[in-house]
Amino acid sequence: MPPTLDTSLGTPTASAVLFFLVIAALTLAVTWWAARRTRSTKEFYAAGRAVGALENGLALAGDYMSAASFLGIAGLVALRGYDGMIYATGWLVGWPALMFLLAEPVRNLGKFTFADVVAFRLRQVPVRIASAFGGILTVLFYTIAQMVGAGNLIRLMFGIPYEWAVTGVGLVMLAYVLFGGMIATTWVQIIKAVLLLFGVSVLTVLVLAQFDFSPPRLYEAVAARYGQAALQPGGLVTDPYDAVSLGLALMLGLLGLPHILMRFYTVPDARAARASVLYATGFIGYFYLIIPIVGFGASALVGRETIAKVDAGGNMAAPLVAELLGGTPFLGFIAAVAFATILAVVAGLTLAGASALSHDIFVHVVRRGHAEDHEQVRVARVATIVFGILAVLLGIVFKGQNVAFMVGLAFAIACSANFPPLLLSIVWRRFNTPGAVCSIATGAGLSVLLIVLSPTVWVDIFHYPQAIFPLRNPAIVSMPCAFLVAIAVSLMAREPSAEAMFDDEKLRTYLGVGAE
Amino acid sequence: MSSDSKSRLLASPAFHSLVARRWRVSLVLTALLFVLYYGYILLIAVNKPALAASMGGVTPIGIPMGAAVIVGSWVLTALYIVWANRSHDPEVERLRAELARHD
């Protein structure tokens, strides 16, 4: 590192290690406490359905606000100005849609996974296999992106080798999920959300204090250093189709993220599910409102050149400005919070992946719905270990690869493969088993195929001169196709048992009659 | 609960209007969300100078617009909660009680 760059980033300072140990001790103590309360499937997958609306709101926020959105968006704003802010808005707008379209029906109809809702009145075996496939694919791509991000970020912040970082994240996260199930995962996510919101709030106040608490003066400083262009839209959004396609994936993809939908089963009823979305939207919205201030602050106070020198992607913008304004101890705190952020998100993803393997595949496909509760919990724990090891291995396999597109891919699959059957199973009587299976296959297949042929992979990764599919995100094509296939295939044949059960489903959807 | 009372409730105008109203409110709010977010994104895509317009000083109008999308999303969510708590829940409770009474 050049001598002009006076930073302790990249070395494990005493304060970073201390804060990290405090967070690790606190979360593992919570896990130990939760482990004694985790015996049944209802406790392992759904925290006994005893989580309050505010707690679940915080946990949803903790599940969703990833290190990529904390460090990545601050960095994007720092290096590219206003474009980072456009990006931030996209990450929030799914939440109201989740509330309006799915939160209450999903809570009323399901038990542990979103596949419970899709399979409510359809033939269990094919629909469970298809839904678990869509769910696991979504969670896997999301997890790979998180693990690779975790390895890189921890190496940058603490100087720990990549493989150790990935393995460490895997082991600690496995401890949470394996022993404490959803109860521990929920509290880890709550602790992380509180720490992250607190840390970013302090950082925002420290930045604004440099500008007499006047955002316009901050913008003046940015404009003085990098020109008015830093405060205006740049190259991020140019093609309207591409912009709408990415927007659709971000907005409706949230409605198909298994680890988010699963959190609705931790609250007692639909009313609490609804309230938890309002809290989550508030916390996440607040987070995305203040993150750009941190980013602009980093660019005005630290400078783009310095930020880009530490990490070309800008990921260290927030830690650098934290060190400048709060010294090494505050940098240590922010680094430890970033670490906790990664752990909480990966724990939620692992629990979702494991529940698809154990609850959807083992219980409903292998055992045709008949398995003792204690056996189900044992299988869920085995599935957790399988998924955790897979996550670490994939993290190591994809070391040094450009995996930024994988989050976009996860959202594309979520909105194309998981969201259409969920919505149709709730609202359309004629929706049937072949319709669900074909729509999931179409949504997942098209998402993967089109993203491989798009500039994101075909040009950026395979280095072909010209992409075959012009848009960077496939959602605008793949989601409508999944809906069309679902409707067309459902109309081809009737499934009397599914249609007959629609009445019972309606009572449960709208009145909560029989909801678990 | 008898299947008779269930089918009577399912066929009742009160249940039909509950479901219809729930989706009307949801879809209107979803439409407003689309206008808010895609309006902002498409404005950026087709007319960037509009966001660069000054509000006096260096701060361009684009910055409060971005913030307004975030705050607006939350306000829409809050509107749904207010409607659901005030008008939807009491009706749900009433229909549930009716179903229980006929057992």
Residues of A (398-437) whose Cβ lies below 8 Å from B? 427
Q: Test B63 with A231 for CB contact under 8 angstroms.
A: yes
Q: Test B58 with A282 for CB contact under 8 angstroms.
A: no
For residue A9, pLDDT beyond 90: no
CA distance B26 to chain A (A): 5
Contacts of A401 (CB under 8 A, 6+ apart): A148
Q: What is residue B1's predicted lDDT score, i.e. its pLDDT?
A: 54
Which of A89, A238, A427 minimises the CB distance to B45? Answer: A238
Question: Taking CB atoms and an 8 Å cutoff, what residues of chain A touch B44?
Answer: 86, 233, 237, 243
Q: What is residue A12's predicted lDDT score, i.e. its pLDDT?
A: 78
- Give the pLDDT band (50/70/90) at residue A5: low
Report the percent of chain B where pLDDT is more than 70.
Answer: 97
Most A CBs within 10 Å: which of B1, B4, B10, B69, as the mutation test of the A interface? B69
CA distance B86 to chain A (A): 12
- Give the pLDDT band (50/70/90) at residue A20: confident
Stretch A472-490: mean pLDDT: 96
Separation of alpha carbons A414 and A394, rounded Å: 20
For residue A443, pLDDT beyond 80: yes
CA distance B92 to chain A (A): 6
- Give the pLDDT band (50/70/90) at residue A81: very high
Most B CBs within 10 Å: which of A64, A83, A100, A296, as the mutation test of the B interface? A100
For residue A3, pLDDT beyond 70: no
CA distance A334 to chain B (A): 25
Stretch A112-120: mean pLDDT: 96
Q: Test B67 with A240 for CB contact under 8 angstroms.
A: no
For residue A16, pLDDT beyond 90: no
Q: What crossing angle do the helices spanning A404-413 and A124-158 adopt, rounded to 10°?
A: 160
Which of A244, A282, A510 minimises the CB distance to B18? Answer: A510
Which of A93, A232, A510 minimises the CB distance to B37? Answer: A93
Q: What is residue A157's predicted lDDT score, i.e. its pLDDT?
A: 81
B60: which strand partners? B54
- Give the pLDDT band (50/70/90) at residue A2: very low
Q: Test B40 with A89 for CB contact under 8 angstroms.
A: yes
Q: What is residue A4's predicted lDDT score, i.e. its pLDDT?
A: 44
Q: Test A277 with B77 for CB contact under 8 angstroms.
A: yes
Stretch A462-474: mean pLDDT: 92
Q: What is residue A1's predicted lDDT score, i.e. its pLDDT?
A: 36
Alpha helices in A48-119 (DSSP H): 53-64, 67, 73-80, 82-92, 94-101, 103-109, 114-118
Number of H helices, E strands in chain B: 5, 0
CA distance A513 to chain B (A): 8
Question: Taking CB atoms and an 8 Å cutoff, what residues of chain A touch B72?
Answer: none
Q: Test B70 with A507 for CB contact under 8 angstroms.
A: no
Stretch A239-254: mean pLDDT: 91
Q: Test A89 with B69 for CB contact under 8 angstroms.
A: yes
> What is the average pLDDT score of chain A?
93
- Give the pLDDT band (50/70/90) at residue A30: very high
Q: Test B71 with A511 for CB contact under 8 angstroms.
A: no
Contacts of A112 (CB under 8 A, 6+ apart): A41, A45, A46, A262, A265, A355, A359
Asked if the C-beta of A243 comes within 8 angstroms of chain B's C-beta atoms, the answer is yes
Stretch A476-494: mean pLDDT: 97
B54: which strand partners? B60
Separation of alpha carbons A108 and A219, rounded Å: 47
Q: With a threshold of 0.90, does the pTM exceed it?
A: yes
Stretch A494-508: mean pLDDT: 95
pLDDT tens, position by position, B8-36: 999 999 999 999 999 999 999 999 999 99
Q: What is residue A200's predicted lDDT score, i.e. its pLDDT?
A: 96
pLDDT tens, position by position, A340-387: 999 999 999 999 999 999 999 999 999 999 999 999 999 999 999 999
CA distance A502 to chain B (A): 11
Stretch A84-91: mean pLDDT: 90
Contacts of A275 (CB under 8 A, 6+ apart): A53, A54, A57, B81
CA distance A159 to chain B (A): 36
DSSP A144: H
pLDDT tens, position by position, A307-333: 999 888 888 999 999 999 999 999 989
Q: What is residue B54's predicted lDDT score, i.e. its pLDDT?
A: 85
Question: Taking CB atoms and an 8 Å cutoff, what residues of chain A touch B103?
Answer: none
Residue A253's nearest CA partner among A451, A514, A489, A11 is A451
For residue A52, pLDDT beyond 90: yes
Question: Taking CB atoms and an 8 Å cutoff, what residues of chain A touch B91?
Answer: none
- Give the pLDDT band (50/70/90) at residue B73: very high
Q: Test A231 with B70 for CB contact under 8 angstroms.
A: no
Separation of alpha carbons B51 and B37, rounded Å: 15
- How many beta carbons lie within 10 A of that of residue A328, not counting itself? 16
pLDDT tens, position by position, A273-309: 999 999 999 999 999 999 999 999 999 999 999 999 9
Q: Test A89 with B18 for CB contact under 8 angstroms.
A: no
Most A CBs within 10 Å: which of B15, B37, B51, B96, as the mutation test of the A interface? B37
Cα R_g (chain B), whole angstroms = 22
Question: Taking CB atoms and an 8 Å cutoff, what residues of chain A touch B15?
Answer: 510
Residue A152's nearest CA partner among A369, A401, A387, A394 is A401
- How many beta carbons lie within 10 A of that of residue A312, not counting itself? 10
